[in-house]
Each structure stands twice: as structure tokens, then as C-alpha cells.
Amino acid sequence: MAIDLARDLGSGDTHRSPTTAAATTPRVCPACRSSSITTTARNPDENTYWRCAGCGEVWNASRRGTVPTRGHRWR
């Protein structure tokens, strides 16, 4: 009985497609829902910071859902 390691472990293809700017560009500001948003990054990715021209909000989509640790320290 032969074991097919390629079948059992997957194809071994670890190549991931590059993140495109279109996939990571937010459509609206999360604070005011304005579509006037900009960035200074030449190649936007998931770590890019964005600024709303309408309300001035600055955010990073990958960090937006995290809870700030300020004020939640153990004493």
C-alpha cells in the first residue's frame, strides 16, 4: 500500500497571489461614509493608512477592528 504524500499534504504550492490596490482600497470613510479618501502610499496594501478629506479621520483597515489597550491595564 503506497501513500501519496503529494495528495495527502496538498500540492505544495505555497505561492500566494499579490495583494492588489483595488482589493485593499476602501470605498468610503468608516467614520462619515464619505467617498473622498486618500493615502500617501505609492503601493497601497492591507497596512496602508487612509485619510478622509471630508472629516479628517485617519485609519488603517487591518488595525481598525482592534480594541485599544489604553486604560485596560492590570494593576
Tens-place pLDDT, residues 22-61? 667 899 999 999 999 999 999 999 899 999 999 999 999 8
Long-range contacts of 12-16 (CB under 8 A, 24+ apart): none
Tens-place pLDDT, residues 32-42? 999 999 999 99
Residue with cell 462619515: 32
Q: How far is CA 60 from CA 25, 42, 45, in A?
A: 11, 15, 10
Domain boundaries, the chain: 31-63
| Phi and psi angles of residue 59, each rounded to the nearest 5 degrees, phi first | -150, 165
CA distance 37 to 28: 7
- Geometric angle at alpha carbon 33, from 27 and 37, rounded to 5°: 50
Confidence of residue 75 (pLDDT cuts 50, 70, 90): low
pTM of the predicted structure, to 2 decimals: 0.57
